[in-house]
Chain A
Amino acid sequence: MKRLTAGITIALSVSVATWTAASDDIEAVLQNSFVAKNQATMDRLERDAVQTACSAPRGLPLDNQSLTTLREERLNAVVMPADRQYLGDWQRGAEVAGNGRGLQSSDDPTQPNGGNCYACHQLAPDEVAYGTLGPSLTGYGARGQSEAMLQYTWTKLWDTHAYNLCSHMPRFGAQGILTEQQLKDVMAYLLDPTSPVNQATE
């Protein structure tokens, strides 16, 4: 609250001094432009280090060293499954991949969150309603189930910035969007040879 008040004070003094400085105070603008609704609370507008680094208009800032450090921090913070079992049930994983609900102000917070993989990725070849913001993952299981492959895929789902800083993909593990079990189920959906993702098209 104190921060907010300070922000407003700065916004007022800045707007008197010069119009062009208004954007220096983007946090204050957002605080004044949004209101909390159900589970979508105002603290969601505060950015962490990744979000701040990845908010630069038209691409990344040029300070490569701090970006490399940030990416390494994300990699070191990945939490692997405690029992080292990476693969769950692909059928439940299919439900997670198709479910677009969760964490919106309009969603029931007692229901499990979805992963909404199909919003951006092609997966099972017989599902035509897939988005194209991310690469196609059809046939992903052909990469096999080596320990390296399991850890790579888990890391990608847990925190995409560990490999590809400022990727558009959400951090499903690090941000608590999906549970450990849901992540395992999605892993199986991607990697299980019997999953529809890995069935050849006719």
Chain B
Amino acid sequence: MKRRNLGFTLFAVWLCSAQLAANDGVFDQYRDLMGDDNPAVFVIDEGEELWFTPQGPESATLEACDLGLGPGVTAGTYVRFPRYFADTDAVMDLESRLVHCMTTIQGRDLETVTAKPYSLRGDFGTEIEALVTWLAAESEGATIAPEQTHAAERAMYTLGEEIFYYRAGPHDFSCATCHEQSDMRIRLQALPDLTSHAGAAEAWGSWPAYRISQGLVRTMGWRLRDCFRQQRWPELQMGSEASIALQTYMAVNAAGGIMTAPGLKR
């Protein structure tokens, strides 16, 4: 009992000194303690299973889904998003591409599959979250290299940059308010500078991520939606042009970095 108390005290002391240090190194230490134990592994398995499960009126799996490298190819696809697809004549992020495959290949209803893309606190994860987590893991260790060959892809980057700096709402917040400077933080939370290669690579390369405080894997689409909630804006829609544009802006700034997702976050 005494020993246990000592252990707890040591942990508390570590936690306090960690808090006083007040930088991102704190969480890096925690991440190191966790080692390879990321609860996202269960979500990865679930995502893989969903990919191979026949669903919808067509009773089809997603194996015919073309994520950019040919039907059924999953490895190395995530790091090439967002990208232009000729069959939809649009730049798509992975989430909107998956929705496209669910509706066209599996014959599922668009409204149903997009009704609740991101889980709420206390929920089990959603199908989109699981699929994205698995597909990100299928690119783990790969170099971030979003397509920028089609004019539409380059236009999406420009649009994303413009939205990044767009100030609006009662607090006048833009993405840039918090994410255009290096080594800044909100309270104790370190903020990546998404205008820099290093900051963008760290951020883009670590989502989707398991959020310990929420007990869920979150995708970049969710991360953006929650940023805008804090910006006091209306709700960002999954697969919307603004969402894809901002993801293009981040991914291109991150190009050359390494995909480490699924990450582990506070």
A interface residue numbers (CB < 8 A to B)? 18-23, 26, 29-30, 32-37, 40-42, 44-47, 50-51, 54-58, 103-106, 118-120, 128-133, 168, 170-171, 175-177
A127 CB, min distance to chain B CBs, angstroms: 10
Interface centre among B171, B184, B233, B234 (most CB of A within 10 A): B234
Question: How many of B's residues come within 8 Å of A, CB to CB?
Answer: 50
- Cβ contact of B237, chosen from A34, A50, A106, A119, cutoff 8 A: A34
Q: Are A131 and B187 CB-contacts (below 8 A) given A20-B151, A23-B159?
A: yes
Query: Of the 9-residue stretches B99-107, B125-133, B206-214, B240-248, which lies at the interface with chain A?
Result: B240-248
A38 CB, min distance to chain B CBs, angstroms: 9
A115 CB, min distance to chain B CBs, angstroms: 11
B113 contacts across to A, CB distance below 8 A: none
A130 to B158, CA, bound (A): 34
A contact face: mostly helix, strand, loop, or mixed:
loop
Mask of B226-255 contacts with A, CB within 8 angstroms, 1/0: 001110111111001111010000000000
Q: Are A29 and B158 CB-contacts (below 8 A) given A34-B235, A42-B234?
A: no
B contact face: mostly helix, strand, loop, or mixed:
mixed
Q: Are A50 and B234 CB-contacts (below 8 A) given A23-B162, A57-B161, A133-B186?
A: no
Q: Verify A33–B187 contact, CB threshold 8 A.
A: no
Flag whether B170 is at the interface (Cβ < 8 A).
Answer: yes
Chain B, 158-196, CB within 8 A of any chain A CB: 158-159, 161-174, 177-178, 181, 183-189, 191, 195
A176 to B170, CA, bound (A): 8
Q: Verify A170–B229 contact, CB threshold 8 A.
A: no
Q: Verify B171–A103 contact, CB threshold 8 A.
A: yes
Flag whether B29 is at the interface (Cβ < 8 A).
Answer: no
